[in-house]
Copies of this chain bind each other. A is one copy, B any other.
Amino acid sequence: MSRFVHVAAAQLGPIQRSDSRRDVVARLLAHLHHAHEMGCHLVVFPELALTTFFPRWYMEDPEELNAFYEREMPGPETRILFDTAARLGIGFYLGYAELAVEQGVERRYNTAILVGRDGKIVGKYRKVHLPGHDQHEPWRAFQHLEKRYFEPGDDFGVWQAFGGVMGMALCNDRRWSETYRVMGLQGAEMILLGYNTPVHNPPAPEHDDLSMFHNHLVMQAGAYQNGTWVVGVAKAGKEEGCEMIGGTSIIAPSGEIVAACSTKGDELAIARCDLDLCQSYKSTTFNFDRHRRPEAYGRITSQRGATPPQPVAA
C-alpha cells in the first residue's frame, strides 16, 4: 500500500524587524504558489514565521512586545493565506506568536497551526519546550527570552489529516526524545516542526560549530525511533545581525534525509512522502507494544531534573 503526501518544506530567509506582515505574507504566498506548481498538498513554514525572532530582545513595553503577536488567526493580514490555500487546495503548517484571551486574561504562546486543503484549521499546537531564559541577561550577545514571552503548552497531540496521522512540534522540542515518543505513542506518521536556531548559543559557544550536526541528529533519531516522517523547517540566515542555521530537511521513517535546502534564504525542499513507509518500522523494531518496557521508564515522568548519586570517596 502507499499513501502519498506531497510535502514542501518552505524555508524562509531572515525577516527583519522593519518587514511588515504584508511583506512576509507575500513571501509565504509565493511559497504556496510555487509548491502548488510542484503538485504539493502540504506546505510547512517555520516557527514564528510572520515576524523576526523577537525573543532576541528584552522589551519592557507591553505594546512594543504585543506588536509581534497575532490576536486572531486568520486575522486581517493572514486571511489571504487561508483563502489562497483553499483556492489552490493546498494545506499548511504555520508558526506564529499567539496572544489569546482566556477567561479575561491575556496569555502568550509560541504556536503552530495545521490548516487543511480546504483552508480550515485542523489543529493547534502550543510549544511545550520553551528554551532560553526569563530574565534579562545583558552579558549575552543577544537574548533568548522565550521563557519570558511565552507560557508553555501542555501536550503533544496528533491530528488526522492529509490521509494520515500528523503531529506538530516547534524548534527546541526537537532536541527532546520525549517529543517524538509522545506523538509516536499516538501513531504519528509525520511530525511537522518549524525552528529558529541561532548558530551561536551564548551559554555554550563551544558547541556552535556543531549546530547543524545536532539539528539533523535529533530529527533523524526521532524519525527512526518512532517510524515517522519528520519535516524540519528553518527560518535561516542573518536576521537583525544574528546568524541562524538553515538545514531544512524532510526525513523519512528510516532516519534518512530525502530532501533538503541548501541556501539560507526562501527555498522549497520537496518530497513525495509515502506514509505507509512508517509501517515497516512501527511493526518490527519499533513495535512498541511488543518491545517497550514502560515499567523501567518511571523516572521519565516522575522527576524533572537529574539526581546523580552522591559522590563517594575515590
Rounded to whole angstroms, the CA-CA distance of A165 and B307 in the bound complex is 11
Question: Could you say which of B182, B293, B308 contacts A296, with CB atoms under 8 Å apart?
Answer: B182
Once the chains bind, are B294 and A303 in contact (CB under 8 Å)? yes
A184 at the A/B interface (Cβ < 8 Å)? yes
Q: Which residues of B contact A292 (CB under 8 A)?
A: 176, 178, 304-305
Q: How far, in Å, is A170 (CB) from chain B's closest CB? A: 13
What is the number of residues of chain A that contact chain B, defined by CB distance less than 8 Å? 74
Known: A184-B306, A185-B300. 14 other contacts (CB 8 A): A153-B296, A158-B308, A160-B312, A175-B285, A176-B291, A177-B180, A185-B305, A186-B299, A187-B307, A218-B225, A221-B221, A282-B306, A289-B306, A294-B302
Chain A interface residues (CB < 8 Å from chain B) = 128-129, 131, 152-156, 158, 160, 163, 165, 172, 175-178, 180-182, 184-187, 201, 203-204, 206-207, 210, 213-214, 217-218, 220-221, 224-225, 254-256, 280-309, 311-312, 314
19 contacts between A and B (CB under 8 A): A131-B291, A154-B295, A160-B311, A177-B177, A177-B181, A178-B292, A178-B296, A181-B297, A182-B297, A185-B300, A186-B306, A187-B307, A203-B284, A204-B285, A218-B225, A287-B305, A294-B300, A297-B301, A301-B301
